[in-house]
Amino acid sequence: MLRRMPLRRTAVLALIFAAFVLTASPALAQRATVTDPAGDASGPGLDVVSATVRNRDHAIVARVRFDRAVRGDLIVSVDPRGDRGVRLVSEYRPHRTTRNYVVGGAFTRRVEGELRCGGFRVVWIADAEVARMRLPSRCLQDGNYGAVRFAVLTERGGDTDYAPETADGDIGVSGWIPRG
Ligand SMILES: [Ca+2]
């Protein structure tokens, strides 16, 4: 027969379990999300609402949500620790051809020039106001990297919106995301 556990002991166990889950989840998640207000964009371009990046073993996957998926350029900067990163670019044209490409250098260390990256894919799900970018691992430092961090910028002529934002209102950067 089961012995009834005293109430206080149950509460202590619940607290220990909650603490374990809270400590364990960031390492297990291998992803980071940043959010940004709707309605803060400069001009009629892409107003970023949130962005999530997953650092999977074989690919880095970014999912960016907008207030509305309208014409504009989306740039996701990805930075490995201590090394040169890349910028994932999608020039979204809902009624024309959308151009997708990768450029060398993250926002933190910009380099000009397009990179060849076979397998770089961008999907716009306009009904859901979402863009999804997938960069194969081999296109970043030949796959030799661990944690990454990211930032999102949108442009239409000039800068439209960005996330995360620092306290001073400049473009910031996410926390480090361990590789899955
Ligand atoms: Ca915004």
First to last CA, the chain: 43
For ligand 1, the distance from its centroid to the CA atom of residue 33, given in whole angstroms, is 14
Residues in the 5 Å CB sphere of ion ligand 1: 36, 40, 47-48, 161
For ligand 1, the distance from its centroid to the CA atom of residue 67, given in whole angstroms, is 7
Alpha-carbon torsion, ordered 25, 27, 31, 35, to 10 deg: 60
Q: Hunting for tokens 């770089």 — which residue is that?
A: 120
pLDDT at 165 over 60: yes
Q: Looking at per-residue confidence, does 154 or 9 come out higher?
A: 154
pLDDT confidence of 106, banded at 50, 70, 90? Answer: confident
Predicted local confidence at residue 114, as pLDDT: 85
Backbone angles phi, psi at 161, to 5 degrees: -160, 160
Is there a contact between 109 and 151 (Cβ–Cβ < 8 Å)? no
In the chain, the amino acid numbered 147 is A
pLDDT at 11 over 70: no
For ligand 1, the distance from its centroid to the CA atom of residue 160, given in whole angstroms, is 9
Averaged pLDDT, 6-34:
61
Read off the pLDDT of residues 110-130 as tens digits, 9 standing for 90 and up: 777 888 999 999 999 989 999
For ligand 1, the distance from its centroid to the CA atom of residue 144, given in whole angstroms, is 33
All domains of the chain, ordered by start, with CATH?
31-163 (2.60.40.1190)
Residue 162: which of 81, 87, 82, 56 has the closest Cα? 87
Predicted local confidence at residue 111, as pLDDT: 72
